[in-house]
Amino acid sequence: MKKLFILDERWDSALTDLGIKMAVVSDGCVACAVLKGAPAEERVKKANLKYFYIEDPRKGLSIQPFLSLRKVIERFKPDIVVTIRGDELLFSSLLKKTFNFKLYRIHGEAKGIRNSFLNRYLHRKFVDGVILSSRKLLNEVVIDLPKIFAHGAVDTQEFKFSEKGRERIRKELDVNDSILIGVVGRLDPVKGHELFIKALSILKKKDLKVKGLIVGEEKNVKLSDLKTLAQTLGVNKDIFFITERRKDIVDLMSAIDIGIVPSKGSEMIARTLLEFMACEKPVVATAVGVLPEIVKENFGEIAKVDEESISRGIEAILRKGIKKLGKAAREEAVEKYSLLSLSNIVKFFERKER
């Protein structure tokens, strides 16, 4: 069975990440359609997946992107086409009858599924099934379609606790025996780094032996602004910032004692949360997106989107015991969110009935 995954995003989003991981674990002949120069191109090459180039549907006239996809489908002759965005869903719908393939859509965008007449028509007329990252995405467009849920996935062979990595990073940071709480994610308002710094300040006022680590490239938030906030709150000597791109992310996560996901929005597909869990880290996450559907009391805490609630979640983890919760987090990641678990979800594409 031949499967074509159309990955037409310009950035390395969690949605693209999930699509690539599904392609990696799929049986049969698999190929990806990508934009030249986009992060997906580099990733499918690294994964040794067959790939084709398509034109960006958000640039120029739509006829060119449509014809580029038609050319790929005509050449590859897929039995199954999987899309992650609306443009290519429309194009694929127009090509479905001609090339006789089954059509699936992965939904995982924070803005939800657009409940328009066109979207309802396309899904009911042409889509054979949907993969939803969260139950929050259920609406009139997809409610009656065959569906399966995929909150996210993590390579539990790549992301696993490293004692050597932990020792090296903690020596690099000179944190000694302090509890190190950490955030991994681009510096962007939606990621809630200022909430993390404020939560750290609250914990320090309670004389807890805690330090903070923020790992992420500067995007829409300036590092200088976060450093100024830390200084204003008196925790500038208790927080470390790593903004350069690092290849030792597993070692960094291993060095952290509690993984924090203080997001203000988005998070409709889990990635960093699952990576922390796979590295045996208990987690504190805000109640946004899919996060509350994943985090359980035996390995984590769900907090409101404010620093007081996040700090209380961290204190709850400390009371329960970091190591015990970390073991449970790893077990949950392996059982429900590993690539092996994802391969079972991918079998949904091969169902015979509509």
How crowded is residue 248: how many other Cβ atoms within 10 Å of its Cβ?
14
Same domain, 222 and 313: yes
pLDDT at 336: 97
The two tokens of residue 80 are: 């199954």
Q: In this structure, is residue 66 part of a structural domain?
A: yes
Strand bridging mode 258-261 / 239-242: unpaired
Q: Which pLDDT does position 350 carry in this prediction?
A: 80
Q: What is the pLDDT of residues 305-337, one digit of tens each?
A: 999 999 999 999 999 999 999 999 999 999 999
Whether residues 312 and 233 fall in one domain: yes
Residues 147 and 172 in one domain: no
Establish if 116 belongs to a structural domain: yes
Are both 199 and 51 inside the same structural domain? no
Amino acid at 198: K
* Predicted TM-score (pTM) above 0.85: yes
Calpha distance 211→199 (Å, rounded): 11
Residues 124 and 167 in one domain: no
Of 34, 4, 18, whose CA–CA distance to 268 is shortest? Answer: 18
What is the mean pLDDT of the segment spanning 34-51? 96
Closest by Cα among 257, 275, 279 to 200: 257
Provide mean pLDDT across the span 121-129. 97
- For residues 93 and 171, state if they share a domain: no
Q: Are 31 and 4 contacting, i.e. CB atoms less than 8 angstroms apart?
A: yes
Q: Is the pLDDT of residue 353 over 50?
A: no
Model confidence at 58, pLDDT cuts 50, 70, 90, reads confident
User: With contact defined as beta carbons under 8 Å apart, do 241 and 156 qualify?
Assistant: no
**298, part of any domain:** yes
Q: Is 255 left (phi over 0), alpha (psi -120 to 50) or beta?
A: alpha
Tokens linked to 144: 């009656």
Residues 142 and 186 reside in one and the same domain = no
Domain co-membership, 331 together with 245: yes
* Domain range enclosing 70: 2-153+339-350
> Do the beta carbons of residue 253 and residue 281 sit within 8 Å?
yes
Q: Does residue 158 belong to any structural domain of this protein? A: no
CA gap 354, 352 in Å, rounded:
7
Q: Say yes or no to pLDDT of 256 above 70.
A: yes
- Average pLDDT over the chain reads 95
Q: Say yes or no: 172 and 145 in one domain.
A: no
Is the pLDDT score of 352 beyond 70? no
36 domain residue, yes or no = yes
Residue-wise pLDDT tens digits, 144-195: 999 999 999 999 999 999 999 999 999 999 998 999 999 999 999 999 999 9
> Across residues 38-64, what is the average pLDDT?
91
> Does 244 map to a domain?
yes
Please check whether residues 170 and 122 belong to one and the same domain: no
Q: Do residues 11 and 79 share a domain?
A: yes
Whether residues 249 and 304 fall in one domain = yes
Would you say residue 255 has pLDDT above 90?
yes
| Mean pLDDT, range 45-53, rounded to an integer | 96
Identify the CATH number of the domain in which residue 332 sits.
3.40.50.2000
As for how many domains the chain has, the answer is 2
Q: Is residue 323 part of a domain?
A: yes
Residue 212 pairs in a beta bridge with 181, 239
